[in-house]
Structure 1
């Protein structure tokens, strides 16, 4: 049997080839970070809100861009 190792999700090659969705709702954290300067000005320090899990974790391959034909590219730059 072949011995397969788990891939490191923080590896640059892995992040370049797959899209990782953690399934958490970060909207409240985004609003909290936008209000940070207001909180500092008013002397408040509210706790960072949680990011609840709303969907399952998904790992999908990134879609490769469509390759355009040579003639289309030449027309776009005005060579033909």
Structure 2
């Protein structure tokens, strides 16, 4: 079918967006309270990031061009 591609390759990263389907909310909240826990002498293990959806690889969208170049030249923004 297709060739295997290294997802971590910089060229691939600039063309596609990879979503691993995990929910990192609990880990983000844990990181926000990490300094507080260290200061208070509490050791809380990092919570897991559960799988909530399938892995998605989708092409990055090109930004929409706003306005016409002639108009932009007239106002001096180009």
Give the TM-score normalised by the residue count of structure 1. Answer: 0.84
The alignment's C-alpha RMSD in Å is: 2.0
| 1:47 CA displacement | 0.6
Structure 2 matches for 1:27-46, cutoff 5 A?
A: 27-46=25-44
The whole-number CA distance in structure 1 between the counterparts of 2:75 and 2:62 is 21
Unaligned runs of 5+ in 1: none
User: 2:60 — aligned with what?
Assistant: 62
Structure 1 consecutive aligned stretches of length 4 or more whose deviation exceeds 4 Å: none
Gaps of 5+ in 2: none
Task: State the Cα deviation string for residues 36-75 of structure 1 (Å, max 9, x = none).
Answer: 1100011011111000000111000000112343113214
The total of aligned residue pairs comes to 77
- Distance of 1:76 and 1:19 partners within structure 2: 35
Measure how far apart 1:19 and its partner are: 0.6
Change (3 A) 1:76 1:53: farther
Q: Distance in 1 between matches of 2:62 and 2:25?
A: 29
